[in-house]
Structure 1
Amino acid sequence: MASSSVQDLLPPSLDSTSQPPSLFDGTTRLYINYQCPYSQRVWITRNVKGLQDMIKLVPIDLQNRPDWYKEKVYPKNKVPSLEHNNKVIGESFVLVKYVDYNFEGPSFMPDDQEKQKFAEELIAYSDTTFVPEVYRSFAKDARKLAGAQFDYLEKALHKFDDGPFFLGQFSQVDIIYAPFIERFHVFMPEGFNYDITTGRPKLAKWIEEMNNLDGYKQTKVLEQEKMVEYYKNRFLPKA
């Protein structure tokens, strides 16, 4: 894997008072939000491929967005988006693949066809089932309903035994799941007294191995207490 020990100096978030960067000047820019799990997917891809010098981070304050972001950069006014070769593309799935396939560094999709097929299944499952089902569970029986989703991941992690990741070796699948597993792993013990790794040794090992990746560690939520409070306010019934 590429050396990803380059330590980013994280720039401050741009808000409605901020001037735009010199757009479309040949610089490749990744527009993100530091708290956004979808942004984090592409940020991880950039870092673990060792592209910190090639792709500049431009964090956007989603609570107070600059008008120029929607008007001049990305009309959908969402993050993440990538400014590259005089065009801007969005959507985290698309961007993870785009950055993986269009920039130098190790590839995070294996040549093995069985692994490729499983990767496509898992990637599709993440946003159609895993993420929405876990969020929905917070208003119902979180342990049981979310538990079924973490059981699915535990089983998936048993399929290939040539490494601790979903396809054995680190891949796009790990990148897609990491931001959400990170948040659920922090929030659920606080919100529901529920540890997602209990009885799931493969998932526990996966989290441990992810936390050893410098390129991922740099993207993790810095203010976990704030994130937990946000989740509690958003998802837990008010007293």
Structure 2
Amino acid sequence: MATSDVRIPPLTSAASDPPPLFDGTTRLYMSYTCPYAQRVWIARNYKGLQDKIELVPIDLLNKPAWYKEKVYPENKVPCLEHNGKVLGESLDLIKYLEANFQGPSLFPTDPAKREFGEQLVAYVDELCMNVYASFKGDTVQQYSASFDYLDNALGRFDDGPFFLGQFSWVDVVYGPFIERFHIVFSEVYKNDITNGRPKLAPYIQELSKIDAYKPTKVDPKEFVEIFRIRFLGQQ
């Protein structure tokens, strides 16, 4: 892990001053707990940009006022400060890193893989919404179709364990959510989402071995606490 990836405490409203904004430093404003920010963090790591893009962690429950006022009026993460401008939205930022920085590509050249990758990414929000909706009903019954979809998608290419065979932007997009779903269904609902899904279990195992991904993983205990408060109304 690069020195710049040592986890410093998130910046809060009461205990932080802004960094020297727009001084030529490229900064990724993010949160250790946000899956959307994790996407861009992974992409940044995969392309070997740890020394070129500084991480600025934000406390999402206690955001510094300067973040909205001086950096990103949308007041959410992730956003990227680069070349005197600020850009947001995780999918756009993954593509921005690909187009504007050197390093290994996350986008396959094979036309069939590119097409299938676009289809998968176009579906990710709907899949996540379906899983979130299941938290309010018969959880195990309602989420099954979503994880069956993932298992089937993992079988499209046989040259590796990932969605497009080899690790790609599709895994960057889906991985943070699959990680969280795996944790919450195991810890809260005592159900293993990989049961009966032979490709999903090795996928999660292999994802955890990716060097770009490992330092970004969420703390399971912290995430379960956040989930219980946000989705179950438990303190």
**TM-score scaled to structure 2, two decimals?**
0.95
C-alpha separation between the residues in 1 aligned to 2:11 and 2:222?
A: 20
Tell me what 1:41 maps to. Answer: 39
Could you tell me which amino acid in structure 1 is paired with residue 195 of structure 2? T
Pairwise CA RMSD: 1.3
1:10-89 matches, within 5 Å, as 10-17=7-14, 18-89=16-87
C-alpha separation between the residues in 1 aligned to 2:98 and 2:207?
A: 18
Q: SS of the residue aligned with 1:57? A: strand
Deviation, structure 1 residue 237: 7.0
Tell me what 1:230 maps to. Answer: 226
Confirm or deny: 8 A CA contact 2:40 2:94 kept in the other structure. yes
C-alpha separation between the residues in 2 aligned to 1:99 and 1:32?
A: 15
1:198 is aligned to 2:195 = yes
Deviations 1:165-192 (A, max 9, x none): 1000111000000111101101102222
Q: SS of the residue aligned with 2:188? A: helix
Tell me what 2:185 maps to. Answer: 188
Counting aligned pairs with the same residue, the percent is 59
Deviation, structure 1 residue 147: 1.1
1:156 is aligned to 2:149 = no
C-alpha separation between the residues in 1 aligned to 2:93 and 2:176?
A: 15
Tell me what 2:89 maps to. Answer: 91
Deviations 1:77-133 (A, max 9, x none): 000000001100001111111112211111111111111111111001001x11111
C-alpha separation between the residues in 1 aligned to 2:10 and 2:232?
A: 29
Deviation, structure 1 residue 11: 2.3
C-alpha separation between the residues in 2 aligned to 1:124 and 1:117?
A: 11
Tell me what 1:176 maps to. Answer: 173
The gaps in structure 1 that reach 5 residues or longer are none
Could you tell me which amino acid in structure 2 is paired with residue 89 of structure 1? L
Could you tell me which amino acid in structure 2 is paired with residue 148 of structure 1? A
My pick for the range that moved more, 148-157 or 229-238, is 229-238
Deviation, structure 1 residue 236: 3.3
C-alpha separation between the residues in 2 aligned to 1:101 and 1:170?
A: 18
The gaps in structure 2 that reach 5 residues or longer are none
1:142 is aligned to 2:147 = no
Confirm or deny: 8 A CA contact 1:101 1:107 kept in the other structure. no
Tell me what 2:99 maps to. Answer: 101
Deviation, structure 1 residue 220: 0.6
Within the candidate set 199, 209, 213, 2:210 is matched to 213
Could you tell me which amino acid in structure 1 is paired with residue 69 of structure 2? E
Could you tell me which amino acid in structure 2 is paired with residue 50 of structure 1? G
Deviation, structure 1 residue 6: 3.2
Confirm or deny: 8 A CA contact 1:197 1:203 kept in the other structure. yes
Aligned length: 232
